Structure formats: C-alpha cells, structure tokens
Amino acid sequence: MVQKIQILNVRLPPDIITWLDSLVKRDIYGSRSEAIRDFLREYLGGKQ
C-alpha cells in the first residue's frame, strides 16, 4: 500500500542539526529527513 507523504517543517536547535548533518556526511543516512523518519519510526514502534 502506498502511503501519502506530507511535508512538515520542524525547527531544531543548531546542535541537533549539526548532529544530523554528521550522520548524513558519514553516509549513515541519505538525508536529514531520512534520519528523522527513522528515529520517529523507532520511537513510535512500540507505541502505535
């Protein structure tokens, strides 16, 4: 099943942006959005 994806603008402190960028730079994630989606899925995994 294809899910509809919506855009959500989020404001984060500079230190979190720097951390996200470091994950992307080390090729752990392809983008900030991918990292945030993964973290949210992990966090919500047991709560849905």
What does the pLDDT read at residue 2? 79
- Rounded CA-CA distance 29/40 in Å is 14
Per-residue pLDDT tens over the stretch 8-45: 999 999 999 999 999 999 999 999 999 999 999 999 98
Q: How confident is the model at residue 5 (pLDDT cuts 50, 70, 90)?
A: confident
Residue 48 has pLDDT above 60, yes or no: no
Domain ranges of the chain: 14-44
Q: Which residue has the higher pLDDT, 22 or 48?
A: 22
Q: How confident is the model at residue 3 (pLDDT cuts 50, 70, 90)?
A: confident
Q: How many angstroms separate the Cα of 30 from the Cα of each of 3, 7, 12, 35, 47? A: 20, 17, 19, 8, 26
